[in-house]
């Protein structure tokens, strides 16, 4: 199945939960990311159950501080 992650098409061999997708996409600091699924921000306590389906649009939105920065984006 095909989904869209941050505007790019991604092929997946099966359905993934949000937690699994974060691992699959090698998001190293999931705590620094807000996940939006089809325009809706997903609560972190739903990551293990919420399943991404064919055609879904996922956005990993990164926390960004300021010029001094407090973390490093790792993707």
Partner 1 sequence: MDFSGEQIERYSRQIILKEVGGEGQKKLLDSKVLVVGAGGLGSPVLLYLAAAGVGRLGVVDGDKVDLTNLQRQVIHFTGDVDKPKTDSAKEKLIQLNPDVRIDTYDFRLTSENIREIVRKYDFVIDGTDNFPAKYLINDACYFEGKPFSHAGVLRFDGQTITVLPGESACYRCVFPTPPPRGVVPTCSQAGILGVVAGVIGLVQATEAIKYLLGIGDLLTDTLLTYNALTMTFRRVSVRKNEDCPICGRKPEITELKDQELPLCDLE
Stretch that binds partner 1, among 17-25, 31-39, 47-55 (CB under 8 A): 31-39
- The helix, strand and coil proportions of the chain, stated in percent and rounded to the nearest 5, come to 15, 35, 50
Verify binding: residue 23, partner 1, rule CB under 8 A. no
Verify binding: residue 62, partner 1, rule CB under 8 A. yes
> Would you tell me how many other CB atoms lie within 10 Å of the CB of residue 8?
7
Closer CB to partner 1, 2 or 43, in the complex: 43
With beta carbons less than 8 A apart as the criterion, state whether 17 and 48 touch.
Answer: yes
Which residues of this chain interact with partner 1, rule CB under 8 A? 6-7, 29, 31-32, 34, 36, 39-41, 43, 59, 61-73
């Amino acid at each position: 199945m095909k989904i869209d992650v941050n505007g790019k098409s991604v092929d997946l061999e099966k359905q993934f939960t949000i937690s699994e997708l974060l691992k699959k996409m090698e998001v190293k600091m999931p705590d620094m990311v807000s996940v939006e699924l089809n325009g809706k921000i997903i609560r972190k306590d739903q990551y293990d159950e919420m399943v991404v389906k064919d055609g879904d649009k996922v956005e990993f939105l990164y926390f960004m501080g300021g010029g001094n920065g407090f973390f490093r984006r790792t993707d």
